[in-house]
Amino acid sequence: MSIRHGLLALLDSGPRYGYQLRTEFEARTGSAWPLNVGQVYTTLGRLERDGLVAAAGEDEAGHSLYAVTEAGRAELRSWFGTPAGPVGSPRDELAIKLAMAATTPGVDVREVVRAQRRRTAETVRERVRSRDEALAAPVPGGAADPEGTARLLVMERLVLRAEAEMRWLDRCEDLLAGRGG
């Protein structure tokens, strides 16, 4: 996900200052992608340079506010309308680690897979627990909660990614045991 597009989406509902953007970004993503406030302000500077946001004065506490421009809204619509790229990357650290372990003398690649499996199983449990707690939480006032829905969407993606990694590790073990098909 592009931080710049996430910030544009937040600004689309009204002017905000950097720390607000950081807090709202993390709330909507279930803190799956933590940001530091310096990263937010650096991104805001680039968005302003590119004409996608503009200074919008200050709030009563003196925080500098930013607002999305029409060009920023057009960029946001384009981003929402364009499918994301392929899942994962060929530069996946775990895939590279296993490839190197399989070809490095003295490294037991099966043990590397088993260690990863233990860690991934723990990750699946943690993510399922977090998702289930979020699902069980009462919705304030009984109304739909867009931020809660946003968090659940991200949490569900993280659960399914971890489960997919477990399936891939199963497949790796089969291949290493000579059960290729």
CA distance 171 to 161: 15
Judgement on whether residues 65 and 97 belong to the same structural domain of the protein: no
Domain assignment of residue 169, given as a range: 93-176
What is the per-residue pLDDT for 91?
65
Judgement on whether residues 131 and 105 belong to the same structural domain of the protein: yes
Boundary-marking domain end, from 59, 81, 103: 81
Query: Is the C-alpha dihedral spanning 70, 75, 76, 80 positive or negative?
Result: positive
Judgement on whether residues 21 and 55 belong to the same structural domain of the protein: yes
139: left (phi over 0), alpha (psi -120 to 50) or beta: beta
Judgement on whether residues 107 and 68 belong to the same structural domain of the protein: no
* Identity of residue 29: T
Please indicate, yes or no, if residue 20 is contained in any of the structural domains: yes
What is the per-residue pLDDT for 34?
79
User: Which spans in 12-145 are helix H?
Assistant: 18-28, 37-49, 70-81, 93-103, 109-136
151: Cα separation from own chain's centroid: 10
Please indicate, yes or no, if residue 127 is contained in any of the structural domains: yes
What is the per-residue pLDDT for 135?
80
pTM (2 decimals)? 0.66
CA distance 10 to 168: 35
Please list the pLDDT of the chain residue by residue as tens digits (181 residues). 488 999 999 999 999 999 999 998 888 777 677 788 999 999 999 999 999 999 999 999 999 999 999 999 999 999 888 877 666 666 677 887 888 888 778 889 999 999 999 999 999 999 898 888 878 876 655 456 777 788 888 889 889 999 999 999 999 999 988 876 5
